[in-house]
Structure 1
Amino acid sequence: MIEQRMSLAALCLALTLGLALAVPQGRLLGGEDAKMAEFPYVASLRLNKAHVCQASIISEMQMLTAGHCVSDVGAKPVEAKQLTARVGSINQFAGGDLVDICEVVIHASYGNFLHDLAIITLCEPLTFGEKINKIALPAPIEEGEVEEVPTNGTPVYVAGWGEQTDGTSNYKLQKANFNTLGKGPCELDAGYGYDSTLCLARAEKQGVCRGDDGAAVVDDDNVIQGVVSFFWGDCGTKYPDVSTRIVHYLAWIEANKK
């Protein structure tokens, strides 16, 4: 009888483990679902109707994303008519509104993932509310201020629909925590320390992945400090993820304001 109970317990354990292994394990971006209206500035950027990147609403008419997300060749963008954006939904496949895009401007110096930033102009203005709203831009750097803003070790957050550890993409928006890595430490860890980039530290087997490109890197004050640019090798390596540091591009953003 005891042996039968042990066998039954072992069988139940095996079935439980088998079911657990059958379900997609882990979320590479972080580990938890975003709540409705938690990130009202997040948009799913779609090329020919398929999600390719994130974009972040900065005004009723404009969004920020990574330059490589909308690049045809170098700083020449794809045709705007190929792009749409889903706003107001945490489901990348449904809900919210699909909006048309009329203009795309990539930073003129974009190349090799430096200056990896683009501004998207919508065809019609958004109506802001609980589920659709803008993210604040950082304040300009004052003369004499430390240029490395945010400073090393600042807690930041990213939300996106990128791939998980099993290679699939979650339909629901995911969120994760990071810490910024200063220019010096990032140069030491990855050989990529630039004033215009913002590196993100996290544990191995976590971090951004394909489809998270263009996502906002946001601090505790709900200010966008970076735009996700790239990761080294496969997702979740020991190397930090890299984003574009927004404070260095405020004049360019202002010059292209609509």
Structure 2
Amino acid sequence: MADPRPHLTLLILGLICAGLSVVPEAQALPQGRILGGEDAVQGEFPWSVSVRYLKAHACSGSLISDSYILTAAHCVSNVGTTPVSTSDVQVRVGSINQFAGGSIVSVKRILIHPSYGNFLHDIALIELNSPLTFSSTIAAVTLPTASEGEPEETEVEEEELPNGTPVYVAGWGELSDGSAGYKLQKANFNTLSAPYCELAAGYGYDSTVCLSRGENEGICRGDAGAGVLDDQKVLRAITSFYFGDCGSKYPDISTKVSYYLDWISANTAEE
């Protein structure tokens, strides 16, 4: 594996980041749109939120409670584990339209995983200024269940997400024709186990989930931080980055939520 040296910059109209070189031909850009997806309907993904930087959509996120959102660390990173100012970040909840509807809520705290770097451990918590009121369009997603006594960041058994498990992602971003999409898009993926991901992209870690899809499909600008859900609507991962151009022949990469359950629990517990 080549030495990954990403230089991150959060831009108003999305995240355009200098690449993470993983295989000779591939460059990982933490951008996200769902290519080859279809429109979601109102209330279909009530946990999906638009994470906004300087009042423009930057990334997606998932409500895990009435006060906390999970997203990708690079979406809210200023430098390394130092987050951007909370005053520059807002979240639109309760709408499938990234430009209108629902509510815009302010942010109290942003917490990036302490081991984040080079797109590994690419996970962050956003705490809202005040708790949300749940409804048909605003609700928390279900987190995976930790094995009893399982410590954080230990090897997760392969059976948790066998190769070829169907999963689903919903997020905002440009459409396949390059236009800026306003409506939440959804798309189907299949998990790719670590050995197959290593073969396909020279990449694979216990803390990540690789996502396979057809060429000219997958994540791109605006979908980073979106939830990856299984058939039971359990949040299995958070979209992180893709290799080369979006829709390339390489799998997309996401951050495995079960790997971080202790960290999530410790930092969302009521004081």
**What is the identity, as a one-letter code, of the residue corresponding to 2:233?**
N
Contact 1:29–1:175 (8 Å) recurs in 2:
no
- The question of 1:243 aligning with 2:251 is answered no
In structure 1, C-alpha distance between the alignment counterparts of 2:244 and 2:266, rounded to whole Å: 35
Indicate the structure (1 or 2) with the bigger Cα radius of gyration.
1
Taking a change above 3 Å as real, the CA distance of residues 146 and 213 of structure 1, as seen in their structure-2 partners, is closer
Taking a change above 3 Å as real, the CA distance of residues 247 and 88 of structure 1, as seen in their structure-2 partners, is same
Aligned partner of 1:202 in structure 2 is: 213
- Among 104, 113, 116, the alignment partner of 2:122 is 116
Over the matched positions of the two proteins, sequence identity in percent amounts to 59
In structure 2, C-alpha distance between the alignment counterparts of 1:109 and 1:202, rounded to whole Å: 29
- The question of 1:173 aligning with 2:173 is answered no
Taking a change above 3 Å as real, the CA distance of residues 216 and 202 of structure 1, as seen in their structure-2 partners, is same
User: 1:195 deviation in Å?
Assistant: 0.3
The residue correspondences of 1:51-130 to structure 2 (distance < 5 A) are 51-130=57-136
Higher fraction of helix: 1
Task: Let me know the Cα RMSD of the aligned residues.
Answer: 1.5
- The question of 1:152 aligning with 2:163 is answered yes
User: 1:84 deviation in Å?
Assistant: 0.4
Aligned partner of 1:255 in structure 2 is: 266
- The question of 1:191 aligning with 2:197 is answered no
Aligned partner of 2:12 in structure 1 is: none
Q: Larger relative CO (CA 8 A, sep 6+): 1 or 2?
A: 2
For 2:268, what is the secondary structure of its paired residue? coil
TM-score (norm 1): 0.87
User: 1:191 deviation in Å?
Assistant: 0.9
Aligned partner of 2:238 in structure 1 is: 227
Structure 2 residue runs without a partner (length 5+): 1-32
Aligned partner of 2:4 in structure 1 is: none
Structure 1 residue runs without a partner (length 5+): 1-26
**What is the identity, as a one-letter code, of the residue corresponding to 1:191?**
G
In structure 1, C-alpha distance between the alignment counterparts of 2:216 and 2:134, rounded to whole Å: 36
For 1:131, what is the secondary structure of its paired residue? coil
User: 1:31 deviation in Å?
Assistant: 2.8
In structure 2, C-alpha distance between the alignment counterparts of 1:37 and 1:213, rounded to whole Å: 21
- Among 127, 131, 147, the alignment partner of 1:141 is 147
Aligned partner of 2:6 in structure 1 is: none
- The question of 1:131 aligning with 2:137 is answered yes
**What is the identity, as a one-letter code, of the residue corresponding to 1:257?**
T
In structure 2, C-alpha distance between the alignment counterparts of 1:31 and 1:135, rounded to whole Å: 21
In structure 2, C-alpha distance between the alignment counterparts of 1:120 and 1:128, rounded to whole Å: 17
In structure 1, C-alpha distance between the alignment counterparts of 2:254 and 2:83, rounded to whole Å: 20
Contact 2:173–2:182 (8 Å) recurs in 1:
no
For 2:243, what is the secondary structure of its paired residue? coil
TM-score (norm 2): 0.83
Contact 1:92–1:172 (8 Å) recurs in 2:
yes
Contact 1:29–1:160 (8 Å) recurs in 2:
no
Contact 2:36–2:216 (8 Å) recurs in 1:
no
User: 1:29 deviation in Å?
Assistant: 2.9
Taking a change above 3 Å as real, the CA distance of residues 132 and 28 of structure 1, as seen in their structure-2 partners, is closer
User: 1:78 deviation in Å?
Assistant: 0.3
